[in-house]
Structure 1
């Protein structure tokens, strides 16, 4: 029997290994290719058996409960929660939801902060094949109402965090009258009609194991959870994390040999894909322990890591910048961390953080909640989000490497550049382009929503007729060694405080003010801060002027209707707006001009939280004002 294509490629790899010195001379990047491909192969080796045998994440968790029930699963606020305890609480959640006579596959919306109840709520719903919609607990008003409605939730669970009940109560009259709402925590007041104390119900519910038959309807395409993302436009959209994606995500840390002896650390919100699909799911997959913190604290970060002997930390770039601002200590390098894994770590602080805190390896990755693949930097290359060389592109055809490509892109037309044959063109070394990933034939949607919303993320007929790729909407640069570096985010989204901010959402909120005629929202760079700060160019209606009352109304509207990270930091009042030929706001020049009052002739204001308004930016002191208010 002739060898398969995969066998031929593996054989070629073996030949290369035998003559590695020669190949390194001809292709100096070849060693990094093999390191990266070996790491992705480890992911596949762990993932494929579970996919083939339909071993879901909840099955893995229940296996660990049987194998080591007393082992600590979660460390939280000086308490230890064993696999056995978390399982018992998950069984209670499962039995409570079962008593509500829901249809298999229905959705429960959970707005819970970082605490163990978030975890056992998710696991309890998985035991009976229900879907958990992760509601961002920072949301209020219309964005919160929209998130719950789009999930089609039949039940709402509200966590014990400050202000969560009040946020739900504010929109309660706009929700279905018959949707039950369960509230966690010891409440100092009597709950209004329609609400139930989850704590009271939990106390009365026995942790009876539920039969696996109750999730017999589950398939690889069944949703595990909905994780909300700003996408490219509009209000938050529920991205679908199905069983297959959950399994794949739970094996990513296999690329650096994450195992049962590790201890992970999650400080970013669990409603984000990073903290859950990476940190939590990988912890469940191998049966190790995870340290969970309600809210990130730079001051307590290393104390936690030392106390619990953390070995792998999950990060977002902004966190490390905050940690670097903590005064240096002789204990900075005293810890057990072997890997820091995450995304968004800026080049300007990468080495500073790694050197000061003696982090052996930083594994930066690039992906998206609704994406179909990711890139990963397994070689400690400073600043890189992964790599994609000619060899890796070849290997991806045979599914021996991630199926991610970078294609040439026309920024003016905002569309891929296609050759004479009508197909897209791969970027080579020294070029920047749009990053995309192959879409499996089984994937027909990325979000819960209309076909038109989902179709925007598809690129079709990319390299051959009939193929489909996921459009991340991001521009990356390919260096001479085929490493990838993040450059920019396209569309109407920018990132601030580790959150995606939809410019359309902000503009729609501001546009409801009676004195505003038009709004153009965009992100601007601020020194020593990751991402871009929100700025709104505002055109007032005729006869309206900038008064203290106008500025206070804008502040109050943003505070009421937008999460904190989405509220504009800067306001610019213009006398006219420029638009493109397709009637889109022109943002490029506004972004370049920024907020420097020495450059701009328009009045510019900066958020003033202390006085609950926006105050003028003066040319003499604007740098100090900005630094004090961010």
Structure 2
């Protein structure tokens, strides 16, 4: 019996030991993403604790206070490098003091007044924003490419007292600015244009003495910090008001992805945009990282810059990765120190090509919007996904996908007037509950557009959700995928057509480089039919037969672009979003469109030139669609 008991004890011990040893493998097989989920939960809780502790600090703690902490801790560490210029944290602090003191010396400006920045990527942008923050002034970040009507509209949204610019691109609206009492300051040593004053010379002469904290005593967590404008792809830009609390949360983006003070961040995205300002600039204030600032994105200079400055973290949006993959291959493509790429909008095929060509870089795709109240992070690295659904995230930021009628351009509702949730695996509109933790502030001076983003009676009577305007899909493994923008998706022959999917198919053809897909109206037909504005690859020509065969082989009949417009370049916004509104308005009339037009002819089994005769045959109904 003793021997039997001893043997059983050894057997049971061995069984327990074997179970413990095989448990990780079993869990990996059953729940392959469990450990990553746990690590993400931990990061989420850690960030939440830090955020709550900062919210409880007195006096109130803001992004500027984090900059002061970094300046005290690393005064001589390079903060921003711009070409041959390098500025430490201490130098940035003093330069921003000069900006603030120069502004406060002006009789028309006082602490707390709103200012507008009309600048490209330049260290002066960063110093001016910091100086205005020290004055307790909200700042409107204007796209420096806009002009006349759009520029006046953007200024009207925030009503600034001063407009600080880097170039004299405001001359044509000076009379209107004078009427509104806006002072225009040019960041130059001298200016001969009547009505515009030089400002850089005043900054150089100003004191670099620190600004008293009392200048910011009026600020609360709900006070406006910055106004960031939508790209205006569907009309005039809207000013999303970002309050101090929201800006404080932006501090967490880079550190939540493992970025630290030892990292060097390559910032070539526009500073007036959320990605460049929130992630590149504000995120670096939190981490204490060095910013390599570029005027604009350049695919040809990108990797040489990364090697020159020992860059470890890069940002991307939209088509940036595709542009990089389109450059001529080099033997030193993998010779760099970049370990992390963070951004959104990369296609799955480009993602794979990017990793294959440029090496083992961790790609952190995320989803967020300037004014939105929910975001996702693909912490697993699943190619193509924008994030992963999990319970804790959902509890903090309740959201769901609801069925959407693209023909009526509204959510589907049941007999009780409530939205219908989209089953897993099906495409639905992302809506997120508006709560104290996840608020929606809206757009400045635009209650109509703000209300359009509010969706009521979603899952129960009286509830209130934010309408993201984005169509998503969640797969069986709980990964979430961006499908399309509402308005980009169109309906033809009773079927929904996702423009991004059609665009992806077109650009894997032999001769096409870029494709901007949209739906156009045809008289006598319901819905919209597919059309694509495309560019042809260098050294190629538009092969009408091969392109026809390609779309027929890859796309169902209702999704095939019946019209193709050849352009020299696909028009994009400053943040690489394709412009569609003008293209939709111009349609496929060869009398109005100067670019070459083609029509998919099933009889000829190729794309044929869209002549006026073919056009009138389509309009009259002689040619059946």
TM-fit CA distance, 1:19: 6.5
CA-based RMSD of the aligned residues comes to: 3.5
Is the Cα–Cα contact under 8 Å of residues 474 and 489 in structure 1 kept in the other structure? yes
Corresponding residue for residue 14 of structure 2? none
Deviations 1:224-255 (A, max 9, x none): 11110046853101111111111111102222
Q: 1:423 to 1:199 in 2, by over 3 A?
A: same
Q: 1:459 aligns with which of 432, 455, 458?
A: 455
1:105-254 matches, within 5 Å, as: 105-159=112-166, 164-165=167-168, 167-177=169-179, 178-186=181-189, 190-192=192-194, 194-230=195-231, 233-254=234-255
Q: 1:352 to 1:296 in 2, by over 3 A?
A: same
Secondary structure of the residue aligned to 1:476 is: strand
1:414 corresponds to 2:404:
no
Q: 1:601 to 1:323 in 2, by over 3 A?
A: closer
Q: 1:264 to 1:493 in 2, by over 3 A?
A: farther
- TM-score normalised by length of structure 2: 0.75
TM-fit CA distance, 1:453: 1.8
Distance in 2 (alpha carbons) for counterparts of 1:207 and 1:578: 69
Larger relative contact order, structure 1 or 2 (CA cutoff 8 Å, min sep 6): 1
Distance in 2 (alpha carbons) for counterparts of 1:211 and 1:530: 55
Is the Cα–Cα contact under 8 Å of residues 435 and 472 in structure 1 kept in the other structure? yes
TM-fit CA distance, 1:320: 1.2
Question: Which piece of structure 1 moves more, 350-359 or 523-532?
Answer: 523-532
Is the Cα–Cα contact under 8 Å of residues 513 and 534 in structure 2 kept in the other structure? no
Corresponding residue for residue 491 of structure 1? 487
Q: 1:287 to 1:601 in 2, by over 3 A?
A: closer
Q: Which ranges of structure 2 fall in alignment gaps of 5 or more residues?
A: 1-19, 491-498, 536-541, 549-560, 571-592, 600-605, 610-625
Structure number, greater radius of gyration: 2
Secondary structure of the residue aligned to 2:162 is: strand
Secondary structure of the residue aligned to 1:93 is: helix
TM-fit CA distance, 1:380: 1.1
Corresponding residue for residue 405 of structure 1? 400
Distance in 1 (alpha carbons) for counterparts of 2:26 and 2:260: 35
Distance in 2 (alpha carbons) for counterparts of 1:350 and 1:447: 34
- TM-score normalised by length of structure 1: 0.75
Distance in 2 (alpha carbons) for counterparts of 1:17 and 1:441: 45
Is the Cα–Cα contact under 8 Å of residues 291 and 308 in structure 1 kept in the other structure? yes
Secondary structure of the residue aligned to 2:300 is: coil
Is the Cα–Cα contact under 8 Å of residues 104 and 217 in structure 1 kept in the other structure? no
Deviations 1:533-561 (A, max 9, x none): 38797xxxxxxxxxxxxxxxxxxxxxxxx
Distance in 2 (alpha carbons) for counterparts of 1:233 and 1:259: 38
Is the Cα–Cα contact under 8 Å of residues 338 and 359 in structure 1 kept in the other structure? yes
Q: 1:136 to 1:119 in 2, by over 3 A?
A: same
Q: 1:534 to 1:216 in 2, by over 3 A?
A: farther
TM-fit CA distance, 1:43: 3.0
1:47 corresponds to 2:27:
no
Q: 1:429 to 1:604 in 2, by over 3 A?
A: closer
Corresponding residue for residue 59 of structure 1? 65
TM-fit CA distance, 1:349: 0.7
Distance in 2 (alpha carbons) for counterparts of 1:204 and 1:486: 51
Q: 2:441 aligns with which of 425, 437, 445?
A: 445
Deviations 1:387-423 (A, max 9, x none): 11xxx2x424643xx5443233333333333456654
Distance in 2 (alpha carbons) for counterparts of 1:313 and 1:615: 36
Q: 1:21 to 1:407 in 2, by over 3 A?
A: farther
Distance in 1 (alpha carbons) for counterparts of 2:461 and 2:310: 52
Deviations 1:74-114 (A, max 9, x none): 01112211111111111112112223354553211111110
Deviations 1:298-320 (A, max 9, x none): 12111211222211111113111
Corresponding residue for residue 548 of structure 1? none
> What count of residue pairs does the alignment treat as equivalent?
522
Q: Which ranges of structure 1 fall in alignment gaps of 5 or more residues?
A: 1-15, 495-521, 538-573, 581-585, 624-630
Distance in 1 (alpha carbons) for counterparts of 2:316 and 2:565: 34
Secondary structure of the residue aligned to 2:146 is: coil
Corresponding residue for residue 343 of structure 1? 344
TM-fit CA distance, 1:463: 3.2
Corresponding residue for residue 529 of structure 2? 589
Is the Cα–Cα contact under 8 Å of residues 306 and 336 in structure 1 kept in the other structure? yes
TM-fit CA distance, 1:215: 0.5
Corresponding residue for residue 87 of structure 1? 93
